[in-house]
Amino acid sequence: MDVVTEGKAIAQSEDKRIHEFCLKWASWHRSRRLFAPPVPQNLLVRLQNLPGGEVPDAELSASASYFNLALLGMPEGRPKLAFYCYYLHRVRPLKLLADELEVTEQGMHKMIKTFRTNAHRAYHRMLAGA
């Protein structure tokens, strides 16, 4: 294996690791609502005995929280919107999102990859400064 091929393999594995981290962040982000359920709209609803159930367990993750702060600090724009749509709102197939944002599907993949890499770098800068 030559140096170039080995470098590409390392970059692909790093990108895959960041992608998995983003998927875990999205799962963590969706579970935040479990800590603060919506307040009922009126008094009669509060007085009713609503069927309860076991509350699902939400993961506590400092790394996901820091990554979330890094994402909030990223500039607003199409890349951030594409990232949120892909990871948080699970918009699939990606072609639908690409058509809506008026970019090619390949451009959409590149936009999301670049944004998640930049967000991950910002996350590491936050950790280094903490």
Segment 40-58, tens digit of pLDDT: 556 555 555 555 555 556 6
> Which pLDDT belongs to residue 110?
97
pLDDT at 106 over 80: yes
> Which pLDDT belongs to residue 41?
57
Tally of CB atoms within 10 A around 71: 22
Arithmetic mean of pLDDT, 80-103: 94
Between 37 and 22, whose confidence is greater?
22
pTM over cut 0.75: yes
Domain boundary assignment for the chain: 3-34+60-129
Given a contact cutoff of 8 angstroms between Cβ atoms, the answer to whether 116 and 19 are in contact is: yes
